[in-house]
Chain A
């Protein structure tokens, strides 16, 4: 009989969206039955197997509070929510994306803005990553937080450049944007609640060793 997070005594937060497919494949490959989730893409809580599903950016929230013992989410989410009190246990390797600075092709409008105006306007869904990147590289930036379709912002003159996550670069290219800088490589990570990590050490170690093994 296949195991489930519940049979290990754990509740696992699984990200919906781009990471869902490979996350379920990973669970199957280490003998954790994910069929309940595959069979029902509307349900959020699978109490009997110990899986809850949510947006990737909510995973650290649930895990930090202990509402889930372990979770899977992207490194981009963890970088953006760096102050969360969670343990990052394993790099799962899939969902590889790059956090980049991109601007319109041709002469870089961001460089021009920095030279002539002293400050560059950046649109992003990742305000903390963008703020930190420009601060650490000694450039003044005005960060404009948008909730979706970041590519639109430089095309309409809202900003000079964007900070966003890209897998293949297709969306950027289609919108006439080119990558100017790479900030970080992001992959899916296994995270744990620090209290669960101490009190359910054996179950969590079993999970980690199967994933790494």
Chain B
């Protein structure tokens, strides 16, 4: 009887047939990134823990820590945006902006048992640093859609929201910080029954409670942006302006989503998430993080996105099989 060593849960080997397809897929995306002026970078898989615990960065967390020979605590990166923010603040301290980088790199995350989740994820993404919204956001959205089309996906959509929209609405209707956090936590879980329960507990005016229940369920085409007034006026204006600046080929991919929240803490404004009808989970996402670079010593507005390359590959295959 021979002993067969398994790979750790949540990791796997990639064999030549799959690897060829992944390489081809990434080559098509890389070409789009390079054409847009996004040079590829690679940063270490290991970073000092303090890089990931600084300011806004502390809201992401890597479950993997180890000690080096000097007793320093190292983490396996759980994200590529933070290492690139660190890199920009140190290696591009005085470089003129905007700076454009792309990456194809592995990130590491914790998994729950028996869920088929990956510990090691291959991510493809870009960071556009020093370009404020809305122009920078438009550039990132355009690049995102062009890269997915180059990859070969036909049916994908990009959900566009704003992380500040719902918290601003809660505040404007007089909901306190603690109650807001509870409601936002329910929303992040996708528990709309919980949102309704928490709102009922607050004994708000009926119209306000109705608005707070309705807004996170608002998602769809540009018709959502019509007739927004009161506390939603600014958000509507911002999204209309963004939509007006997009080329038709990108605009047709965008759906608006007022309930979009993100589990990464450093986002400050527009956020996006990629959906394909052939696959049940988002393929990736991104957004504006205008405060993160400041934590590393070079305050610059920034925007970026990351795509899960394996999910893009699965969606491609699913789309192909649907087309028959």
Name A's B-contacting residues (CB within 8 A). 64-67, 83, 85-91, 189, 193-199, 201-202, 205
Q: Are B282 and A91 interface neighbours, CB within 8 A? A: no
> Known: A198-B275, A199-B275. Contact between A65 and B190, CB under 8 A?
no
Cβ contacts under 8 Å, A67 to chain B: 280
Question: Would A205 and B217 count as touching, CB distance under 8 A?
Answer: yes
Q: Ordered nearest first, which 9 A-B pairs have the shortest CB separation?
A: A66-B280, A87-B190, A88-B191, A195-B275, A65-B280, A91-B193, A201-B219, A88-B193, A201-B220
B257 near A198 (CB under 8 angstroms)?
A: yes
Alpha-carbon separation in the docked complex, A87 to B277 (Å): 16
Residues of B within 8 A of A (CB): 112, 115, 157, 159, 189-194, 196, 217, 219-220, 255, 257, 273, 275-277, 279-282
**Docked complex Cα distance between A189 and B196 (Å):** 13
Query: Chain B residues with Cβ under 8 A from A87's Cβ?
Result: 190-192
Give the contacting residue for B190; candidates A86, A199, A205; CB below 8 A.
A86
Q: A195 touching B276 by the CB < 8 A rule?
A: yes
Q: List 6 A-B contacts (CB under 8 A).
A: A65-B281, A66-B279, A87-B191, A195-B279, A195-B280, A199-B255
What are the residues of chain B within 8 A of A193 when measuring CB–CB?
Answer: 280
Q: Hey, which chain B residues are within 8 Å of A195, CB to CB? A: 275-277, 279-282
Is the beta-carbon distance between B220 and A202 smaller than 8 angstroms? Answer: yes
CB distance from B294 to the nearest CB of A (A): 32
CB distance from B177 to the nearest CB of A (A): 24
CA distance A197 to B275 in the complex (A): 10
Q: Is the CB of B192 within 8 A of A198?
A: no
CB-based contact A194/B192 at 8 Å = no
* Assembled-state Cα–Cα distance A78/B290 (Å): 36
Whether B190 lies near A85 (C-beta < 8 A) is yes
Q: How far is the CB of A11 from chain B (nearest CB, A)?
A: 11
A33 and B94 CA atoms in complex are apart in Å by 67
* Chain A residues, CB < 8 A from B277: 195, 199
Q: B276 to chain A: which residues have CB within 8 Å?
A: 195
Residue of B nearest to A212 (CB): B196
- In contact, B193 and A198 (Cβ under 8 angstroms): no
* Cβ contacts under 8 Å, B255 to chain A: 198-199, 201
Asked if residues B280 and A199 are in contact (CB atoms below 8 Å), the reply is no
Q: Roughly how many angstroms separate A85 CA and B191 CA in the complex, as a whole number? A: 10
The reply to whether B193 and A90 form a contact with Cβ atoms under 8 Å apart is yes
User: For A194, what are the chain B residues with a Cβ–Cβ distance below 8 Å?
Assistant: 190, 281-282
* One of B192, B220, B279 near A88 (C-beta < 8 A): B192
A62 to chain B, nearest CB (A): 9
Write the chain B residue with the least CB distance to A66.
B280
Which residues of chain A are near B279, meaning CB under 8 Å? 66, 195
Known: A87-B190, A91-B196, A195-B277; 8 extra A-B contacts, CB below 8 A, are: A65-B280, A67-B280, A83-B115, A88-B190, A88-B193, A195-B275, A198-B273, A199-B275
Given the interface contacts A198-B257, A205-B217, does A189 sit within 8 Å of B193 by beta carbon? yes
Task: Give the chain B neighbours of A85 by CB distance below 8 A.
Answer: 190, 281
Cβ of B196: which chain A residues have Cβ within 8 Å of it? Answer: 91
**Chain B hits for A199, CB < 8 A:** 157, 255, 275, 277
Given the complex, which residues of A lie within 8 Å of B280, measured CB to CB?
64-67, 193, 195-196
Verify A88–B219 contact, CB threshold 8 A: no
Chain A contacts for B193, CB-based, 8 A: 88-91, 189
Whole-angstrom distance between the alpha carbons of A202 and B281 in the complex? Answer: 19
Taking the nearest CB of chain A, how far is it from the CB of B274, in angstroms? 10
Q: Are A66 and B115 in contact (CB under 8 A)?
A: no
Q: Cα distance A64–B273 when bound, in Å?
A: 17
Bound complex: CA A194 to CA B273 (Å): 11
Name the CB-closest residue of B to A193. B280
Would you give the shortest CB distance from A70 to chain B, in whole angstroms?
12
Cβ of A88: which chain B residues have Cβ within 8 Å of it? 189-194
Interface centre among B157, B189, B255 (most CB of A within 10 A): B189
Q: Which of A86, A194, A196 has the most CB of B within 10 A?
A: A194
CB of B178, distance to nearest CB on chain A (Å): 19
Distance (whole angstroms) from the CB of B48 to the closest CB of chain A: 30
Tell me, rounded to whole Å, the shortest Cβ–Cβ distance linking B322 to chain A.
12
* Nearest-Cβ distance from residue A192 to partner chain B, whole angstroms: 8
Q: A198 touching B112 by the CB < 8 A rule?
A: no
- How far is A202 from B218 in the complex, measured between Cα atoms in Å? 10
Q: In the complex, what's the smallest C-beta–C-beta distance from A69 to chain B, in angstroms?
A: 9
Separation in Å of the A109 CB from the closest CB of chain B? Answer: 31
Nearest CB of A to B196, in Å: 8
Contacts of A89 in B (CB 8 A): 192-193
Bound-complex Cα distance A67 to B194 (A):
25
Whole-angstrom CA separation of A83 from B117 in the bound complex: 12
Residue of A nearest to B283 (CB): A195
| CA distance in complex: A194, B257 (Å) | 12
Question: Once the chains are docked, how many angstroms separate the CA of A114 from the CA of B119?
Answer: 38
Q: Which residue, of B112, B190, B219, B282, has the highest number of chain A Cβ atoms within 10 A? A: B190
Inside 8 A of B273's CB, which chain A residues have their CB? 198
